[in-house]
Structure 1
Amino acid sequence: MADVVLSGAIRSNLLSMQNTQKMLSETNLRLSTGLKVNSAIDNPTAYFTAQGLNNRASDLNTLLDSMGQSIQTLKAADQGITSIQKLVESLKATANQALETKISATTLTGKASTEVVGTGTTASGATNTLTDTSRGFTSGETITLTVGEKTFDFAITASSDVKSLVDAINNDAGGDLTGEGVTASIEDGQLHLEAASGRAVTVTTDSADNTALSKLLGTKTSSSNGVNRDKYERDFNNLREQIQQLADDASYKGVNLLKGDLLSVFFNEDQSSKMDIEGVELTPDGLLNIASVGATDGNHEFETDSNITALINGLNSTTDVLRQQASTFGGNLGVVEIRQDFTKNLVDTLQTGASNLTLADTNEEGAKLLALQTRQQLGTTALSLANQAEQGVLRLFG
């Protein structure tokens, strides 16, 4: 089939209408997407440049999330230091309370119905033998003196008397009561025991029958009217353990700057700009250097004022360590926050630059749409006029 031959006027008007329609389609696309460059076909240079800018902005946005998490890690460490500082202050308070508590001796004085030595202050003579009828002990029986956590055993023989018991306690050849300051004496015919450490004093025997012990001491076989500092030793060690546990718990997403972990913060997309934040061992056994105090048999560290004073001085040094490390972490936090703000602004700059290359001006595109619609209407009118000119030929055959 032969092609339809169009006149020059009609073809010119048709081409103009096709161009107008194409421009209308482009304008409608720009208005609907908001972009003047929708693909590389529209403007390769602008498209790929904008794509590069947006890709970098996306990478930096991911880094912003990482920076935010790093800030939280630093804040967790700072909160840990603040809490540890409070516990150290509690340790100081406990030590000071111990220092202000003056140790007073525990005393135990027998209250037997009859004087254990008759009269006077000596324990000699057959009537004072522990195994005689008036005393009631048996040979081979053991008298046990307990002071705090320490015990002293006195084995009774047929010749043992009250004086030998007193002398054995005072001499303490085995050192069983070392550190307790125990002295034995006879006052007003009664057995008198004193423990300078202030710990409880108890006298018992391995006999099931306490009759003999009652004759020696009466009904009073224990005493706790002294004053010691054992409670403060336990309190101190419990607080120290809380510091250790708090340091263990001051982690964020598996990173604990108070246990020596390393935190690396990256500031650009190729990781060539970064900051390494080194953690420290802020534990009692680490930089805090807080040793547990002796609170066991033969090792009561709070017994002397000098030990407590030295401990308080050490805690003052611990406070200095905590303050210095808090300052260091605070400086690191400031740097990360500054870089975070910089990265946010840079992302905004990159996105704005990409938008300038690809975003359409909706006001301009709207004006174009109205103009093109008008041009389309005019083209239709012009095409109609051109067609009417050809129709005039038909009248020649009419």
Structure 2
Amino acid sequence: MERYLVGGAVRDMLLGQPGADRDWVVVGATPEQMIQAGYTPVGRDFPVFLHPETREEHALARTERKSGRGYHGFVFHAEPGVTLEEDLVRRDLTINAIARSDDGRLIDPHDGQADIQARVLRHVSPAFVEDPVRLLRLARYYTRFAPLGFTVADETLELLKTMVANGEVDHLVPERVWAESERALMHDEPHLFFYLLRRAGALARLFPELNDLFGVIQPVRHHPEIDSGVHTLLVLAQVAAAGGDLSARYAALCHDYGKASTPARMLPAHHGHEERGVAPAEQASLRLGVPKALRDAGRLTARWHTHIHRLYELRPATLLKLFEGLDAFRRPERLETLLAVCDADVRGRLGFEYRHYAQPARARAAFEAARAVTAEPLVRAGLRGADIGAALARERTRAIADVLAG
């Protein structure tokens, strides 16, 4: 029985990057032998065991054969006679198909080290097209490693296009699409994930609401980049550069979905795109199965973002309506998400990257003034029922007006 460190841990070690989870492949063993050695079985589809001390995953070397469509359409074969090389050939990319023995020897049958040096993401074998999750994983790897100079091999990009053309990508389950997308969104340059999906033709299948924005024009005076899809990904890039959390990054994707349905006669203006954006933002979130907090962030940002841009034009009562629409008095983090996207929305335009944008600070000040007004004094004054709500709104409106006038 021999074990080898495989996959991301070896890749990241060679790249000098912080280590990924350490995964091991075991050659020459049976499940019974693993259990007798103290390993705990955890694999459902194929034999995987946890080391008795480190709790790191150890999988028996295996081969796989395509038996149906989608991620689960495989038959796995694991027995002591399966070699390390047979296990490595089923992996996705050459940089992930390198093994390291306990004595430090590298086993690299597919020249993954050369591709690391050349900064190339390349598939191991034509069987790459059999698993649609690999398309998502490759897009995520590209998002992570492009800042290090990595590109996708031309022949691998062609395989991605094949996976879209033959319908394999249509068998991706929403949970897996979101799982990979969520991880990609938290990388330093998450917009690259969506650009690669678009180059492969997969964006229209997986994120149709985003894909529909490409080719939709905007007023060049306000949007020198012109294209609504390009603008959306510039906004995402700005949110990420500012260290925005997942809610802000996801809301950035959704904020302009309404522009895809702007009537042609109105272009390049997009009056009313805020209200039109609510339904597609909700539709995309439900299809992907994103958590409710993110779904709310996408929908609310689509609806209210231009109110922040027009803050100095708004009446105090309208600004209070915005705060109430966000339910910000109970969930102030929603306002912070909206402000983060609005700031990025201004800077996510060619030549606007360093534009001063004072609205978030003024909106926060107005909100804090309104939040400081509570119902307690009104109750002590003898107000009851609906009169409390009406008086609270008046006092909060007055507090907002004082801030806006300052």
Query: Scaled by the length of structure 1, what TM-score is found?
Result: 0.18
Greater relative CO, 1 or 2 (CA 8 Å, sep 6+): 1
The structure number with the bigger radius of gyration is 1
